[in-house]
């Protein structure tokens, strides 16, 4: 029988970490983070990483393993996470995959592929267009030629958008077609659980979290990263919470404007996350009204592992 691997997903600020820790304390689990930003060192407050105490209490994987300028992608995550799952099972523990990075989750659960050819000249042209006109300009170009792939991406994930444009330029095919061609046989049974709040409640929680991040040192965190010599334009910082604070530090906007932009952009990101995950009909959605509801959801997941 295939080992059952629990996947907990949903939008930012929905309580994924809280739920995973609640379960892990009961069943001797280890947590695999499927978060494309928590993987980086120094990005802690703005990515809402588990606390130092929580990381010590429960083994976590794929948190703080890379420097902010080190590249990583869903294809690497698929390979690395599968190997980590095998190691956890060999120790007699239960892996719990937790995260809101849609393509990381998809790559692990279903597998993912990419077209191998490159056109450096065309890619450089797109890079220059992005520098001149921004992420949205590049994203609209992809929507024009490959709306299906574009619907599965976010404008801020501009490297993925450019890669999709490059694949279409080279092959005349959607990069989504290449992904669908990749049929990975898996020795695991991934069972996905989604967490969902009423939209207005979620947005209010996001607003409060942003206020908490500011109060607890987000500005200092961003300053520290820049002072360490990291490029403020690197992909790891192209994230709600970081890019707005960088604009504030450069004098482009006030701190009040930065905070409001973080809240707005995080709410928009949460909406896109839900749109992505709702497209996967295999996700078992759980409506949460209050923190008390996590008790029944955690028990449901534990019962699923036992059956």
8 has which bridge partners?
A: 98, 193
pLDDT band at residue 140 using 50, 70 and 90 as cut-offs: very high
* pLDDT over 70 (residue 185): no
**CA 4 from centroid of its chain's CA atoms:** 22
pLDDT band at residue 121 using 50, 70 and 90 as cut-offs: confident
pLDDT band at residue 270 using 50, 70 and 90 as cut-offs: very high
pLDDT band at residue 256 using 50, 70 and 90 as cut-offs: very high
Helix (H, G, I), strand (E, B) or coil at 8: strand
Q: What integer pLDDT is reported at residue 51 of this predicted model?
A: 96
**pLDDT one-digit tens code per residue, 201-212:** 999 999 999 999
- C-beta of residue 6 within 8 angstroms of C-beta of residue 191: yes
Burial class (CB in 10 A: 0-12, 13-18, 19+), 264: middle
CATH architecture classification, 120-181: Orthogonal Bundle (1.10)
pLDDT > 70: what percent of the chain? 96
Q: What is the average pLDDT across 141-162? A: 90
Domains of the chain, by residue range, sit at 4-112+183-306, 120-181
How far is CA 263 from each of CA 79, 127, 213, 257, 289, rounded to the nearest angstrom?
A: 34, 28, 11, 10, 21
Residues 6+ apart with CB under 8 A from 267: 203, 206, 207
Q: What integer pLDDT is reported at residue 123 of this predicted model?
A: 84
pTM for this prediction: 0.81
Q: What integer pLDDT is reported at residue 40 of this predicted model?
A: 98
* pLDDT over 80 (residue 290): yes
* pLDDT over 80 (residue 178): no
* pLDDT over 70 (residue 120): yes
pLDDT > 90: what percent of the chain? 76
CATH no., domain 4-112+183-306: 3.40.50.300
Q: What is the average pLDDT across 30-46? A: 97
Q: What integer pLDDT is reported at residue 122 of this predicted model?
A: 84
* pLDDT over 90 (residue 235): no
Q: What is the average pLDDT across 42-67? A: 97
pLDDT higher for 179 or 134?
A: 134
pLDDT band at residue 253 using 50, 70 and 90 as cut-offs: very high
Q: What integer pLDDT is reported at residue 115 of this predicted model?
A: 62
Closest of 243, 108, 114 to residue 178, by C-alpha: 114
pLDDT band at residue 214 using 50, 70 and 90 as cut-offs: very high
| Averaged confidence pLDDT in the chain | 92
Which contiguous run of DSSP H or E holds residue 106?
Answer: helix 102-110
**Rounded CA gap, 171 and 3, in Å?**
38
Q: What is the average pLDDT across 158-182? A: 83
Q: What integer pLDDT is reported at residue 124 of this predicted model?
A: 84
**Rounded CA gap, 268 and 68, in Å?**
24
């Amino acid at each position: 029988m295939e080992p059952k691997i629990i996947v907990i997903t949903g939008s930012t600020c929905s309580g994924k970490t809280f739920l995973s820790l609640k379960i892990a304390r009961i069943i001797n689990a280890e947590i695999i983070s499927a978060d494309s930003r928590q993987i980086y060192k120094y990005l802690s407050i703005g990515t809402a990483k588990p606390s130092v105490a929580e990381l010590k209490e429960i083994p976590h994987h794929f948190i703080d393993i890379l420097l902010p300028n080190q590249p990583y992608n869903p294809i690497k995550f698929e390979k690395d996470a599968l190997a980590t799952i095998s190691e956890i099972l060999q120790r007699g523990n239960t892996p719990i995959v937790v995260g809101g990075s849609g393509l990381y989750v998809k790559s692990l659960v279903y597998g993912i592929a990419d077209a191998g050819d490159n056109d450096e000249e065309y890619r450089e042209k797109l890079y220059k267009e992005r520098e001149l006109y921004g992420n949205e300009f590049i994203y609209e170009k992809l929507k024009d030629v490959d709306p299906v792939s574009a619907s599965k991406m976010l404008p801020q994930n501009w490297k993925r958008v450019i890669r999709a444009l490059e694949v279409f330029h080279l092959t005349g095919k959607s990069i989504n077609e290449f992904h669908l061609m990749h049929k990975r046989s898996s020795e695991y049974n991934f069972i996905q659980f989604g967490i969902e709040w009423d939209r207005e409640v979620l947005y209010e929680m996001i607003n409060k979290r942003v206020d908490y991040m500011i109060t607890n040192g987000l500005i200092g965190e961003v300053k520290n990263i820049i002072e360490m010599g990291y490029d403020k334009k690197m992909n790891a910082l192209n994230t709600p919470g970081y890019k707005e604070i960088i604009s504030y530090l450069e004098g482009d906007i006030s701190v009040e404007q930065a905070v409001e932009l973080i809240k707005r952009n995080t709410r928009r990101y949460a909406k896109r996350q839900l749109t992505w995950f709702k497209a996967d009909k295999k996700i078992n959605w759980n409506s949460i009204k209050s923190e008390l509801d996590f008790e029944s959801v955690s028990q449901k997941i534990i019962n699923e592992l036992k059956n």
